[in-house]
Amino acid sequence: MDVAGPEVIGSSGGRILPVGRTVTVEVPASSANLGPGFDALGVALGLYDTLTVTVIESGLELEVTGEGAGEVPEDASHLVAKVVEAGLRAGGMGAPGLRIACVNAIPHSRGLGSSASAAVGGLVAANGLMNGALTTEHLVQLSSEFEGHPDNAAASVLGGVVVSWTERSETAVKYSAVRMDVDPSIVATVLVPSETSSTAQTRGLLPATVPHEDAAFNASRAALMSVALGSRPEFLMAATEDRLHQAYRAPALVATTEWVTRLRGRGLAATVSGAGPTVLVLSTSALPADLRESAESQGWRVLDLTIADGARVVSEA
């Protein structure tokens, strides 16, 4: 779809990128919270959107295939288009026009970080066009600004499992994250339903305050998570326990909650993936065949995923 664009996309006061410059980026899905780490823990998962951005003579051309095709806008209001422009502006560069092609494999509105992946992919593509003008810290900050919190975005930037945090002052919000080492025997399985969920809706179910006992419970489990993920996966069941968000969201995620309960009853460390409705399982073995068959018979997609590295430029010219 061709849409008239501004004379310069990005910064009109900086260097203008040459027509024909192009990059292709792969960006992983992500899951947030991992049980106790509400808005703090995230993991990159080996399911990828691919984004190709090419500098053209003028205007904006945007095409979406795969997940979200026909549902998301194909104009300057598309998140990726906004993010690429913001990335160029942050790097002090501009483009006379852009062609953006999105090939999406990450399901939308399922708790797998599709919007964070779009934000990260757009920024990494812009950075590739600019030969790395932005640091990793810039990428975490800018993508988290689009998201409003850093857990999914930081995971897609840094890869692996991340611990993220937010510092607020009267004049600014700073987002930071660090990647953790993960025991190589740990793998992820996700159960993805056909229905979608709204992060805003499920976040609205959370109370304004929680009991001190529940806060202490989650603090201990989040601390244990670093041990379980790093070298002691036998503690994953205890480490993924939560009292801050999943029970409050359960009325809006009935099937998801039932599957989390069923899986945990079988000794599998299952949690709600982000705001749901996808279910995340962290384990050192594959999902038992009977559970896989049962989920698939109910219309759930069961995907075995690696814990992935962060977004990267796979080709450029």
> Residue 79 and residue 89: Cα distance in Å, rounded?
15
**Amino acid at position 128, single letter:** G
Model confidence pLDDT, tens digit, residues 98-153: 999 999 999 999 999 999 999 999 999 999 999 999 999 999 999 999 999 999 99
Tokens linked to 216 = 């202490």
Query: Helical H runs in 106-245?
Result: 114-129, 136-147, 151-158, 199-203, 212-230, 236-239
> Residue 68 and residue 63: Cα distance in Å, rounded?
11
| Domain chopping of the chain, boundaries | 2-179+308-316, 187-305
For tokens 């450029």, the residue is: 316
The two domains 2-179+308-316 and 187-305 share their CATH topology (first three levels equal): no
Model confidence pLDDT, tens digit, residues 258-314: 999 999 999 999 999 999 999 999 999 999 999 999 999 999 999 999 999 999 999
Chain centroid, CA 33 distance in Å = 11
Using alpha carbons, select from 118, 111, 109, 102 the residue that is nearest to residue 69. 102
CATH of domain 187-305: 3.30.70.890
Indicate yes or no: pTM above 0.85: yes
The per-residue DSSP string of 128-150 comes to: HHTTS-S-HHHHHHHHHHHHSSS
Say if CB 54 and CB 21 are below 8 A apart: yes
CATH of domain 2-179+308-316: 3.30.230.10
> Residue 293 and residue 295: Cα distance in Å, rounded?
6
